[in-house]
Amino acid sequence: MEPILQIQHVSIDFTQYESRKGTSRRCLQVIRDLSLTLYPGQVMAVVGASGSGKSLLAHGILHILPYNSHMRGEILYNGEPLTKERAKRLRGREIVLIPQGVTYLDPLMKVGAQIRKGRRDEASRRMSREALGRYGLSPDTEDLYPFELSGGMARRVLIAAATVEKPRFVIADEPTPGLDTVSAGRILAHLREIADAGAGVLLITHDLELALRIADRVAVFYAGETIEDAAASDFADPSLLRHPFTKALWHAMPGHGFRTIAGAQPYPGTAERGCPFVSSCVDCVDKCREAEEIAPRYVRGGWVRCLRVQQDTTEAGTENGDLGEGMEE
């Protein structure tokens, strides 16, 4: 099957002006050499701590990054480059974003008008009522302002707004924080349904446990890099996992001992060389500190950036080899 989305060696950086001097510019790399592949019908979770650049990845795919940022690398959608013009054409129709919270709605516009993007014809009205109905919201919801929605309702309105026109690729950026378990479960089930209907879903979250409930694959973000790309089933047993950080994440899950991870995640772009996890790693050696670049290695059907893990020479490039296509230098 052809992948719906391929992200190849994408980096995003910011130009910041030092406030004191005004003239000196600083370049801050938030996402570094990121590669992902997503297939139709699949939910891929991107798991990372807050501030690790997950939202920027979503905005980068849609070409809606802030004006002081710059993206390099290549993104292919249905096998063709997703240029700014193409993204402009597709977003809101084939490629949609489910944002994080009610602040993403215009506070002064009624829900209905926002969902319909200002259109007033009968067909648009019907589609908007259908979209609301799919997520258990009554047609009266159209007449409410965002401040009149409860947390759970707002989240469902956002999903409805994103999926009015049948999307083929959905990016859900932290769709559940602040919701109770039942509402969060319902939102996740909706995302799974969207994938089962044939769309690709990129689920962005900081909550691994939640991601594992619906994901097929999990990409783990650390300091702006994907340090591991694993099948969700690998999380059944920590010995199937590849990177020391992913293992630490597994042990930090409520059901697995709740062990905290020592040390703080470095601010994206601060690590000049070596592995960003060295300061917290139980298994690191000198070369982890000194390596210019740690290329992803293909191991047991997944990808990992760790010098301590042996690459399977036999399996690379076969079967699932195109998952991280273009990752080898």
Q: Residue 112 and residue 114: Cα distance in Å, rounded?
A: 5
CA nearest neighbour of 84 among 99, 64, 67, 66? 64
215 counts as binding ligand ADP under rule CB under 6 A: no
Q: Quick check: 5 and 38 in contact, CB under 8 A? A: yes
27 counts as binding another protein under rule CB under 8 A: no
- φ and ψ of 111, to 5 deg: -55, -45
88 counts as binding another protein under rule CB under 8 A: yes
Token pair 């939910």: residue: 43
Find the farthest-apart pair of alpha carbons in the chain and give their distance in angstroms, rounded: 67
Q: Taking CB under 8 A as the criterion, which residues in 160-189 touch another protein?
A: 161-162
Partner in contact with 175, chosen from Mg ion, another protein, ligand ADP, none, beta carbon below 5 to 8 Å by kind: none
62 counts as binding another protein under rule CB under 8 A: yes
301 counts as binding ligand ADP under rule CB under 6 A: no
Q: Which is nearer to Mg ion, 55 or 320 (CB)?
A: 55
Please select the residue that binds another protein; options are 27, 126, 147, 317, rule is CB under 8 A. Answer: 147
User: What angle (nearest 5°) sits at the alpha carbon of residue 214, between those of residues 212 and 219?
Assistant: 55
Please select the residue that binds another protein; options are 57, 71, 96, 210, rule is CB under 8 A. Answer: 96
For 232, other C-beta atoms within 10 Å of its C-beta total 17
183 counts as binding Mg ion under rule CB under 5 A: no
Please select the residue that binds Mg ion; options are 55, 78, 124, 183, rule is CB under 5 A. Answer: 55
User: CA–CA distance from 188 to each of 68, 135, 195 (Å)?
Assistant: 33, 12, 11
3-state secondary structure of 97: strand
Span of 51-59, 129-137, 138-146, 236-244 interacting with ligand ADP by CB under 6 A: 51-59
Give residue number: closest CB to ligand ADP. Answer: 55
Residues that bind ligand ADP (CB under 6 A): 14, 16, 30, 48, 50-56, 66, 68, 268
Interface residues with Mg ion (CB under 5 A)?
A: 55
Residues that bind another protein (CB under 8 A): 59, 62, 64, 66-67, 88, 90-93, 96-97, 99-101, 103-109, 117-118, 145, 147-148, 158, 161-162
